[in-house]
């Protein structure tokens, strides 16, 4: 089972931080059974360079500049979570990119309204998770430890 563990990059965006949703969001990942392996503390105001790199795949989209500005407009809480299928399941927990299409019970479905203020980022594949984790964190900032609840969460 340990071999199937993977990691995802989750970031609470400036609107999520300003609106006081940090605790609620972390709580959902904790309650699910995923394991926190890294978190930037204090929260960081990301540089334009970092954000441009983070969203490089979207560089030709009309909202790219606004997105980079929004993401740099205040502190973000950058985290790495670990668990079985955490990339895919994390995306399900986030909801759709556009909160209007997100079901109640998802983070975006419960806490926000517009696509340009959708409060949270989550990696969309294992490959992009690895890229994003190495962009935001140094290897020594990720901690490996055994969860005492492991055998109560996994068969």
Task: Summarize as ranges the residues that interact with Mg ion (CB under 5 A).
Answer: 124
Nearer to ligand IDP, 1 or 65 (CB): 65
**Residue from 149, 136, 155 nearest 78 by CA:** 136
Residues 93-152 that bind ligand IDP (CB under 6 A): 97, 115-116, 118, 121, 124
Binding-site positions for ATP read 13, 63, 91, 97, 108, 118
Tell me if residue 54 is catalytic: no
Q: Minimal distance in Å, beta carbon 56 to Mg ion?
A: 11
Catalytic residue (one of 7, 35, 52, 121): 121
**Minimum distance, C-beta of residue 97 to ligand IDP, in the bound complex (Å):** 3
DSSP assignment string, the chain: -GGGEEEEEEEE-HHHHHTT-HHHHHHHHHHHT-EEEEE-SS-B---HHHHHHHTGGGTTSTTHHHHHHHHTSS-BEEEEEEEETHHHHHHHHH--SSGGGSPBTBHHHHH---GGG--EEE-SSHHHHHHHHHHH--GGGS-----TTHHHH--
What angle in degrees, to the nearest 10, is found between the helix axes of 86-94 and 22-32? Answer: 140
Shortest distance, CB of residue 141 to ligand IDP, whole angstroms? 23
Question: Which of the listed partners (ligand IDP, Mg ion, none) does 52 bind, with a CB threshold of 5 to 8 Å by partner kind?
Answer: none
Residues making up the annotated binding site are 13, 63, 91, 97, 108, 118
86 binds ligand IDP (CB under 6 A): no
Residues of the shown chain interacting with ligand IDP in the complex, contacts defined by CB under 6 A: 58, 63, 67, 97, 115-116, 118, 121, 124
């Amino acid at each position: 089972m340990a071999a199937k563990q993977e990691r995802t990059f989750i970031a609470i965006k400036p609107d999520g931080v300003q609106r006081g949703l940090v605790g609620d969001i972390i709580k959902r990942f904790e309650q699910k059974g995923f394991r926190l392996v890294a978190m930037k503390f204090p929260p960081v105001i990301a540089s334009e360079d970092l954000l441009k790199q983070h969203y490089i795949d979207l560089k030709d989209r009309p909202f790219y500049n606004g997105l980079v500005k929004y993401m740099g407009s205040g502190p973000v809480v950058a985290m790495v979570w670990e668990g079985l299928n955490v990339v895919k399941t994390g995306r399900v927990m986030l909801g759709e990119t556009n909160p209007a299409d997100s079901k109640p019970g998802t983070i975006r479905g419960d806490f926000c309204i517009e696509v340009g203020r959708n409060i949270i980022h989550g990696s969309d594949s294992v490959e992009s998770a690895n890229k994003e984790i190495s962009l935001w964190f140094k290897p020594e900032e990720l901690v490996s430890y055994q969860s005492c609840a492991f055998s109560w969460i996994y068969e």
